[in-house]
Amino acid sequence: MTYFHNSLIASALTVSLASSAAYAYESCNVDLSAGFTINASSIEFVEAQGENNDKQRSLYKIVEGKKLFVDNQNIELSAAQQVLVQKYDEKIRHLVPQVRNVAIEGVDLAVDGVNLAFNGLLGKGNNVAADLTKELTLIREEVVAKLSIENGISVGIDGFESEELLGKDFDKRIETAVEKAVLNSMGSILIAMGQQMMTTGDNEESFETRMENFGENIEHEMTARSAVIEKKAEAICLSIAMVDEIEEQLKAEIKPLANTNVFTVTQGHGEENQTTTK
């Protein structure tokens, strides 16, 4: 019964890809030359140093949205410069709930896909969907906790894929959870499939067709839902591009920041990619 693996499982796993929309989409590439930390009172940009990059040097820090420290030295700002620093601080902070919401919606989409797939196959209240929903809910709670300014956020040069944050394998964790659940419950799944064949009077060929249609319906439903998340991910790209633009203004207006460049955003597709001039 290889069709089960090729259609239904594939459809269930498709939903996990939506979680990666939080930090990976074709129209946007964000490069960071430094990491940064955000808490309720400050944003600090840090550079890794040392033989094993195990030490950090503060590049610059914004305190209370208006005070600027470069290399730990307080920088006197004009009224116009202070407005620019405050705007920069606000735009960076606004990124956090945007990223959190997309990541959470990605996990929620995975939960919906899992329940559509396994409830449709095994019936509502089955242990497979229940166990998997529980595991995905734990991942969701982790996202909420890690993307909380109140708790403090640390972002490495890998951006929101940083090990300090969601991790490079965030979407892979969801996919692995689904695969594990399928493998652990294969016996129950095969029994349920056999019972359905006996109940409906299907032969193997007609049952295979029905299951393939079932898988295609799930994939169609999940694709439609994931399109909404992808739009929100694109909005994140635009927000980061705006942060990049303000950083360029800071470099032009505040001399101690002239040679510091944290954000580089490339937008577009393929050869049409455009990078902000640095």
pLDDT tens sequence across 136-174:
888 888 888 888 888 888 887 666 545 555 655 666 777
Q: What is the pLDDT of residues 92-127, one digit of tens each?
A: 999 989 888 888 888 888 888 878 877 777 778 877
Domain annotation covers residue 141: yes
Domain presence at residue 268: no
Residue 189 lies in a domain: yes
Residues in a beta bridge with 130: none
- 236-261 mean pLDDT: 94
pTM: 0.74
Please tell me the total count of domains within the chain: 1
Compute the chain's Rg from CA coordinates.
Answer: 24
Going by C-alpha positions, the residue among 159, 184, 122 that lies closest to residue 20 is 159
68 in any annotated domain: no
Provide the domain limits for residue 230.
2-32+77-260
Written as six digits, the tokens of 6 are: 């090729």
Q: Is residue 61 domain-resident?
A: no
Predicted local confidence at residue 131, as pLDDT: 82
Angle in degrees, CA 15, 237, 155, rounded to 5: 85
Residue 38, domain member (yes or no): no
Domain presence at residue 108: yes
Min mean pLDDT across 56-60, 136-140, 210-214, 255-259 is at: 210-214
**Greatest CA separation found in the chain?**
81
User: What average pLDDT does the segment 51-63 reach?
Assistant: 83
Asked if the structure places residue 64 within a domain, the reply is: no
Q: Is 53 left (phi over 0), alpha (psi -120 to 50) or beta?
A: left
